[in-house]
Structure 1
Amino acid sequence: MPAHTPRLRLKSKAPHGGYVDGAWWPRSDDLTHELPDLLAVLSVRLGRIDRVSYRLNSWANAPRKLTTGGRAVRLDGYRLQPRNTIEVRGLDDDRDRLILLVIPPRTDPGDAHATMMTAAQSGNAGTVDGLLMISPRDRATRTQASNAQERWESEGGTTTSPRSQRALA
């Protein structure tokens, strides 16, 4: 039983089109805090959940495994996971799988609700960017900025200056 009901909308189980199977609006960017409640609800549809794939740098640091509901769930972070999505897989990878649109936590409530309802409509074939109303130009700008940040960090750069780290200590 989830401690907090996740803000989640899913398409029906019937065959459907579109990239996503529904939408999830987490309350924070802490994946390990957000997932237990989400997985408790999704296990009704998927059965035992085996793994969750997410995009690195979209969430606070997460461990490789999360124990929830008395079971270990693998958390796989990828740099190439499509932005604003997570993939939740049951034990049967081919059948038991959902791709969810992730609505950023600080999204306006009215916009988030409308996006969730649209993403969950049967027959909705919207793309992730289309559902989030991100133009191709905005996506290109965001991708360039994200790639630059990832390069900076992989080459030894940090996002927090030593001076600000000392101030936090």
Structure 2
Amino acid sequence: MTAQHKVDGSGRSSSGPEHTPRLRLKRKTSRSGHVDGAWWPHSDDLAAELPDLVTVLSVRLGAVTRVTYNVADWPETVHKQRMGDQVVRLDGYHRHPLHTVGILDGRGNEIDLLVVPAQTDADDAHQIMMTAAETDDVSAVELLLAGGPRGRKTLSA
């Protein structure tokens, strides 16, 4: 997947994702919970899925320089990947929290996302993503993926 160049109303060209990622984020000012939102990739091919995600998250972070993930979550992938006009490091760790990815910029800012497995039912994935993106949600990753009101924790709970 590569970024498409689009022309906006002013005639200027802008780079955007080829396919809009299935992504929900907490408000930028919210720093509660274990994750900053959720991402539901279309496949389990991390290298194929990341360019569009990075393009969208660059609006919030600026230039993305690194992606961290748990090696048990994804089949073996590349260690560096060109995305647009930058090279992004893909660092897999055994101790990185399962079912999450960390997206980092060059200044140390990070967005931690819950990764909803690609094969998840659409209704279930939508509910998980919406819950993970709620400002007051502080549920652990395992509880978010379990879904339902029993697994949900908020700051007021």
Equivalent position of 1:56 in the other structure:
71
Q: Deviations over 1:61-114 (max 9, x none)?
A: 111101001110000000111110000001111xx2100000000000000000
Question: Any conservation in 1 of the 2:128–2:144 contact (CA below 8 Å)?
Answer: yes
> Displacement, 1:15?
3.1
Task: Tell me the C-alpha RMSD between the 2 structures.
Answer: 1.0
Residues 1:2 and 2:17 are matched in the alignment? yes
Please identify, of 51-60 and 20-29, the stretch whose mean Cα deviation from structure 2 is larger: 51-60
Aligned to 2:151: none
Match runs of 1:1-169 below 5 Å = 1-93=16-108, 96-133=109-146
Tell me the distance in 2 between the aligned counterparts of 1:24 and 1:125: 17
The structure where strand makes up a greater share of residues is 2
Give me the TM-score of the superposition, normalised by structure 2.
0.82
Q: Percentage identity across aligned positions? A: 49
Q: Which runs of 5+ in 2 are unaligned?
A: 1-15, 148-157
- Write out the 4+ residue segments of structure 1 that deviate beyond 6 Å after TM superposition: none
- Counting matched residue pairs gives 132
Larger C-alpha radius of gyration, 1 or 2? 1
Counterpart contact for 2:47–2:81, Cα < 8 Å:
yes
- 3-state SS of paired residue (1:104): coil
Distance in 1 between the 2:39 and 2:48 partners? Answer: 14
More helix by share: 1
Report the Cα offset of residue 123 of structure 1. 1.1
> Which structure 1 segments of 5+ residues have no match?
135-169
